[in-house]
């Protein structure tokens, strides 16, 4: 099945498919409002503003599976994102990225890219493991703000760890390379 056939629900409750964004370069990110990494919203929005006219979009996927750091309703999440960080990129309805109720979108993302690229000398995974918060099984999303890059053909081409910030040169260069194709 093409990733574009994957059914998703927007944060406003509209049922659609990823086909709505077909032909765009996408950065799909599981997000949370009460996480130490939440300030990444600002950098994600900067990417959206910088490249949306070139066929790029961030897609935020709120998730409450990591220390319940996204406890709000879809409406509360939308309000927080727009008023606190000026988020204009699309947000999807809150859902699971790991476990038995993992959203089909994340099933496909993980199947295509089972391991995330990490920044040089990152200790993020080890810190999660030391706290007993590491992945339960191979391929699991490690934490909030893990990122997947999808090219214009709908291929999941890269996965970036939560601590690789959206302004990291690796992420920016990867997006730019896909936009140039």
Q: What pLDDT is recorded for position 38?
A: 97
Q: What pLDDT is recorded for position 156?
A: 97
Q: Which tens digit of pLDDT belongs to each residue from 78-120?
A: 999 999 999 999 999 999 999 999 999 999 999 999 999 998 8
Q: How confident is the model at residue 121 (pLDDT cuts 50, 70, 90)?
A: confident
Percent of the chain with pLDDT over 90: 88
Cα gap 61→89, rounded to integer Å: 11
Distances (CA, A) of 78 to 5, 22, 75, 90: 25, 23, 5, 10
Q: What pLDDT is recorded for position 26?
A: 98
Q: Please give the positions annotated as active site.
A: 35
Domains of the chain, by residue range, sit at 3-179
CB atoms within 10 A of CB 64: 18
3-state secondary structure of 175: helix
133 pLDDT above the threshold of 80: yes
Query: Residues 49, 50, 52, 57: what is their CA dihedral angle, to the nearest 10 degrees?
Result: -80
Cα gap 104→124, rounded to integer Å: 26
More confident residue, 55 or 118: 55
Sign of the alpha-carbon dihedral angle for 128, 59, 154, 102: positive
- Lowest-confidence range among 3-12, 55-64, 135-144? 135-144
- Per the CB < 8 A criterion, the answer to whether 44 and 60 are in contact is yes
- Per the CB < 8 A criterion, the answer to whether 21 and 146 are in contact is no
Q: What pLDDT is recorded for position 129?
A: 84
Q: What pLDDT is recorded for position 123?
A: 83
Cα gap 5→19, rounded to integer Å: 6
Only one residue has tokens 């659609």, namely 16
- Per the CB < 8 A criterion, the answer to whether 64 and 72 are in contact is no
The pTM assigned to this predicted structure is 0.96
Q: Give the architecture (CATH level 2) of 3-179.
A: 3-Layer(aba) Sandwich (3.40)
Mean pLDDT in the chain? 95
């Amino acid at each position: 099945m093409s990733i574009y056939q994957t059914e998703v629900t927007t944060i406003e409750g509209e049922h659609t498919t990823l086909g709505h964004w077909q032909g765009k370069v996408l950065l799909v990110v599981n997000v949370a409002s009460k996480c130490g990494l939440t300030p990444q919203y600002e950098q994600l929005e900067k990417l959206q503003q910088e490249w949306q006219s070139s066929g790029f979009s961030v897609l935020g996927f709120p998730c409450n599976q990591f220390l319940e750091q996204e406890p709000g309703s879809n409406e509360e999440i939308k309000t927080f994102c727009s008023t606190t960080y000026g988020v204009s990129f699309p947000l999807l309805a809150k859902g699971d990225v790991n476990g038995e109720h993992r959203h089909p979108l994340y099933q496909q993302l993980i199947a295509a890219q089972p391991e995330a690229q990490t920044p040089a000398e990152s200790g993020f995974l080890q810190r999660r493991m030391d706290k007993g918060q590491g992945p339960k099984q191979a391929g699991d999303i490690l934490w909030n703000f893990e990122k997947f890059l999808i090219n214009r053909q709908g291929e999941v081409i890269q996965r970036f760890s939560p601590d690789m910030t959206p302004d990291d040169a690796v992420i920016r260069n990867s997006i730019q390379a896909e936009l140039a194709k």
